[in-house]
Amino acid sequence: MRYGLSTTFALALVASAFATPSQPSPRQTNPFTTTPITDFDEPWSLAFLPDNRILVTEKRGQLRLVDPTTKAKGTITGVPSVAYGGQGGFGDVALHPNFAENNLVYISYAESGTGGAGAAVARAKLVLNTSGGGALQGLEVIWRQSQKVSATGHYSHRILFDGNSTMWISSGERQAFDPAQAMTSNLGKILRLNDDGTVPAGNPFTGTPGSQVWALGVRNPLGIAFDEQGRLWEVEMGPMGGDEINLIEKGANYGWPIVSQGDHYDGKAIPRHSTRPEFAAPKAWWTPVISPSSLIIYKGSLFSSWKGNAIISSLGALGLVRVEISGTTAREVQRISLGKRTRCVREGPDGALWVLEDGAGGRLLKLTPR
Ligand SMILES: [Ca+2]
């Protein structure tokens, strides 16, 4: 397997003293003690409540509440109906940064409509009951992809809050290619919005929906995360080859579908990032692909030497890929097989890693140091 870096970075490495990682990181002993909690029907994402219970989305449209201590699994009612099929269905779940005061939960999902389907983000108040479940109340849709299309892939629809309660959404290009470069569309973009879906001051573009856009030219961005310095990182699935980790900067264009480190599935070549320096090149890229499904930047102390590293859940690598971030550079340092396609990785309140396996019967795993 080959492991690639951006041309700019690779050239810089030629003149530097440390080695270019031309191979994937060697297989190492699994560093984890793995505790399976329970299983789900096609789980997609998870979020911790302040009481350490965990909300888990299931792609067909269920929202579950799990107590990791008792392993009891309840249901949250009031979830909107979702357009299940292909990559579509129930997607992400995130708590408002002030959840302890406002009980607001944010969800993303694929919805049907004129022209096909598109991602939507809604928020609602989470009201818990005493029997291990609860309900979403006052649900309100606060954002939608600007057009619905018949394809069933590349919704992406990850939701992330920063410390100012600003909401970030990764909006995939829905297999429609050109909208990723068009300001008349919010497909293929990284978006920055207020917590009610309105447009905040300070975004780099104007118009509707262009004013939502923070960065453009992304393909299927399934992971977004901030590092300790407040920099935003993104992972996206490339086409045939060329999965990417990008440092997302205000107003930058990441090149899709004009440039890529991979080619079209029919074999048609796509020019590489090196041919068009006006587009921001990935900080690291993968061919063959790892199929990155989510991203965190580790901030805990349980895995003390991993602080500041990117941890990517990977469908293709059947586990986790650890990427060392140093300033604005990134390189893979470890690939940890868990034996299953992994859909989501999150850091728990105690610094443990929590992983959702992909597909029917996908388990929630707690990973602690061996
Ligand atoms: Ca790119």
Q: For position 29, what pLDDT does the model report?
A: 76
Quick one: DSSP state of residue 212? Answer: G
Q: Alpha-carbon distance 57 to 289, whole Å?
A: 26
Specify whether 157 is catalytic.
no
Average pLDDT, the chain: 93
Q: What is the largest CA-CA distance in the chain?
A: 63
- Return the ∠ at Cα 105 (arms to 64 and 185), rounded to 5°: 110
Q: What is the 217 CA–ligand 1 centroid distance (Å)?
A: 7
Q: Alpha-carbon distance 120 to 83, whole Å?
A: 11
Q: What is the 336 CA–ligand 1 centroid distance (Å)?
A: 25
Q: For position 199, what pLDDT does the model report?
A: 98
Q: What CA–CA distances, in Å, run from 234 to 38, 54, 187? A: 29, 24, 15
Q: What is the 311 CA–ligand 1 centroid distance (Å)?
A: 20
**DSSP-derived pairing of the beta strands 134-144 and 73-77:** parallel
Q: For position 26, what pLDDT does the model report?
A: 63
Q: Alpha-carbon distance 61 to 49, whole Å?
A: 20
Do the Cβ atoms of 56 and 46 come closer than 8 Å?
Answer: yes
Residue 324 burial (CB < 10 Å; 0-12/13-18/19+)? middle
Measured in whole angstroms, the distance separating CA 282 from the mean position of its chain's CA atoms is 16
Selecting among 154, 157, 264, 273, the annotated active-site residue is: 154
Task: Give 218-253 pLDDT, tens digit per residue.
Answer: 999 999 999 999 999 999 999 999 999 999 999 999
Q: What CA–CA distances, in Å, run from 335 to 29, 32, 180? A: 10, 13, 30
Q: What is the 168 CA–ligand 1 centroid distance (Å)?
A: 19
Q: Alpha-carbon distance 49 to 96, whole Å?
A: 11
Q: How many CB atoms lie within 10 A of CB 34?
A: 15
Q: Alpha-carbon distance 205 to 184, whole Å?
A: 11
Here the tokens at position 72 are 């009891």
pLDDT in tens, the chain (370 residues): 333 444 344 443 333 333 333 346 666 678 999 999 999 999 999 999 999 999 999 999 999 999 999 999 999 999 999 999 999 999 999 999 999 999 999 999 999 999 999 999 999 999 999 999 999 999 999 999 999 999 999 999 999 999 999 999 999 999 999 999 999 999 999 999 999 999 999 999 999 999 999 999 999 999 999 999 999 999 999 999 999 999 999 999 999 999 999 999 999 999 999 999 999 999 999 999 999 999 999 999 999 999 999 999 999 999 999 999 999 999 999 999 999 999 999 999 999 999 999 999 999 999 999 9
Q: For position 20, what pLDDT does the model report?
A: 34
List, in order of start, the domains of the chain with CATH numbers.
3-264+271-369 (2.120.10.30)
Q: What is the 214 CA–ligand 1 centroid distance (Å)?
A: 15
Q: What is the 107 CA–ligand 1 centroid distance (Å)?
A: 27
Q: Is 96 helix (H, G, I), strand (E, B) or coil?
A: coil
pTM for the full model? Answer: 0.93
Do the Cβ atoms of 205 and 190 come closer than 8 Å?
Answer: no
- Return the ∠ at Cα 195 (arms to 84 and 174), rounded to 5°: 35
Q: What is the 242 CA–ligand 1 centroid distance (Å)?
A: 8
